[in-house]
Amino acid sequence: MRVDVVTAFPPLFQGPLSESILKRAQAAGHAEIIVHDLRAYAFDKHRTLDDTPYGGGAGMILKAEPLFACVDTLQSQRRYDEVILTSPAGRVYDQNLAKRLSMMGNLIIICGHYKGVDQRVIDTLVTMEISIGDYVLTGGELAAAVIIDSVVRLIPGVIGDGESMLTDSFMEGELDCPYYTRPPEFRGMSVPEDLLSGDHKRVAAWRARAARMLTKQRRPDLLTDAIEDAEHGRRKRK
C-alpha cells in the first residue's frame, strides 16, 4: 500500500512513522508512506498556504491552489483509491473503515488545518472526509497519523503473529478480554485459575466470557451493533 500525506507540517510525522510497527512495515515494503510538504506547492513569493475567509470571521483557511497543485501532481503519476481529508466534519472513524482502507492500494491523505479548507478542494478533490472523534484537534496531522497507524497494522504480514491482529478488540464487534502475565500472584492479586490451567478450551471459554462481560459493562452499544449487523446479514441473504 502507498499513502501520500499532504501537510503544512511534515515534522509532525517524524515520530509516529519512524518507530515500532510502522517503521518495520515500511522497511519490509508493506507500506510506502510519503509525506509531502504543502509549502513546496505554494508558488507565490511568500509561499502562502492560508488566507482569511471571505465574509470575515476568525481563523485562517487553507488555500485551494497549493492543494490542487500537489494533488494534481500526485494524480498525474498514479491512480488513487481515495483522497481523504481529515476534518472534524467527516464521518467518524472506526475499525470497519480501517479494514476497508487497509485493502486499498493508493491513498492520499490531506491534513486539514487552521479553521478549515477552501470548500472547492472538498467539492472537487476530496472523496472522503474522516473525523477521528468528536473533539477538535489543532490540525489534521495527528488524525492522519492515527488513520495510518490503524490501517497499516491491518495489512497482511505487517504484524508477525497474525493471531494478535485477528483477535484485536473490535474485530469481533466486542472489546478484548483482560490479559495477565507473570508472576501468577502479585501483591495478593492472583491470575484467574482458568488462564493458568494449560487447558486451551478452558482458556478460550474464560476469555469469551470475560470479553462479553466487559463489553456489556462498558460498550453495550457494540453488542447491539453486532446483533443488528447479524440480523441485517440474514435479511440480505433471504
Cell 500500500 identifies what position? 1
Which grid cell sits at 187?
A: 501483591
Q: Which stretch binds ligand ADE (CB under 6 A): 96-104, 115-123, 133-141, 190-198?
A: 133-141
Contact indicator for 156, 115 with CB cutoff of 8 Å = no
Supply the minimum distance, in Å, between the C-beta of residue 144 and ligand ADE.
8
SS3 label, residue 63: coil
Binding to ligand ADE by residue 215, rule CB under 6 A?
Answer: no
Which grid cell sits at 138?
A: 489543532
Residue from 5, 143, 152, 211 binding ligand ADE (CB under 6 A): 143
Question: What are 219-222's contacts with CB under 8 Å, separation 24+?
Answer: 219/175, 222/170, 222/173, 222/174, 222/175
178: left (phi over 0), alpha (psi -120 to 50) or beta: beta
Residue from 137, 152, 154, 177 binding ligand ADE (CB under 6 A): 137
- Cβ closest to ligand ADE, residue 11 vs residue 157: 11
State the binding string over 103-132 for ligand ADE (x if CB under 6 A, else -): ---------x------------------xx
Q: Which stretch binds ligand ADE (CB under 6 A): 27-35, 102-110, 135-143, 213-221?
A: 135-143
Q: Point out which residues bind ligand ADE (CB under 6 A).
A: 86-88, 112, 131-133, 135-137, 140, 143
